[in-house]
């Protein structure tokens, strides 16, 4: 079994955070696609807490009239450190928005999926390691 070193850019935000006329996560994914990043996922959380609590119990509260909930979001993007750094100017441009971005190394099993998508994205094969080390 072989492993490759990748990085995860994880962004914690909320549904009501916008960039112009669109939600922050959609603008972020649009930029990530434009830059040719490997892949990403957005997850809606049932609850969350932080400095700005929306209700007495820390849960997201319904927005009056619309009936929608302003739920916390987690956005995960996976790629090489160099490719993820291409998103930094976007994040700096919208640094006044409500989000927290963290980056962490990770080891991924080198699978046929990684190899095939590397070819589609026009990337050379990734360096492989026998033992997962971070």
Distances (CA, A) of 11 to 41, 78, 87, 105: 10, 12, 12, 15
Residue 118 lies in a domain: no
Nearest to 63, CA basis, from 51, 72, 71: 71
Taking the C-alpha atoms of residue 113 and residue 37, their distance in angstroms, rounded to an integer, is 15
Q: How many domains does the chain have?
A: 1
Residue 134 lies in a domain: no
Taking the C-alpha atoms of residue 60 and residue 48, their distance in angstroms, rounded to an integer, is 8
Residue 1 lies in a domain: no
Residue 21 lies in a domain: yes
pLDDT digits (tens, 9 = 90+) for 87-108: 999 999 998 888 999 999 998 8
Nearest to 13, CA basis, from 65, 70, 79, 59: 70
Q: The domain spanning residue 68 has which CATH number?
A: 3.30.70.120
Here the tokens at position 4 are: 């490759």
In this structure, the number of other CB atoms found within 10 A of the CB of residue 6 comes to 19
pLDDT digits (tens, 9 = 90+) for 17-40: 999 899 999 999 999 999 999 889
Residue 122 lies in a domain: no
Residue 67 lies in a domain: yes
Tell me the pTM: 0.77
Residue 2 lies in a domain: no
State which residues form the domain around 37: 7-105
Residue 96 lies in a domain: yes
Asked whether residue 15 carries a pLDDT value surpassing 60, the answer given is yes
């Amino acid at each position: 079994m072989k492993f490759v070193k990748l990085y995860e850019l994880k962004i914690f935000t909320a549904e009501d955070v916008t960039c112009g006329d669109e939600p922050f996560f959609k603008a972020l994914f649009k930029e990530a696609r434009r830059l040719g990043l490997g892949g990403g996922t957005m997850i809606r959380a049932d609850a969350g807490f932080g400095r700005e609590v929306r209700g007495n119990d820390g849960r997201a509260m319904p927005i009056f009239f619309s009936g929608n909930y302003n739920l916390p979001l987690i956005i995960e993007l996976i790629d090489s450190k160099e490719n993820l750094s291409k998103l930094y100017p976007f994040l700096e441009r919208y640094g006044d928005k409500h989000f927290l971005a963290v980056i962490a190394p990770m080891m991924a099993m080198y699978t046929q999926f990684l190899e095939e998508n590397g070819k589609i994205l026009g990337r050379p094969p990734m360096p492989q390691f026998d033992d997962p080390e971070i």
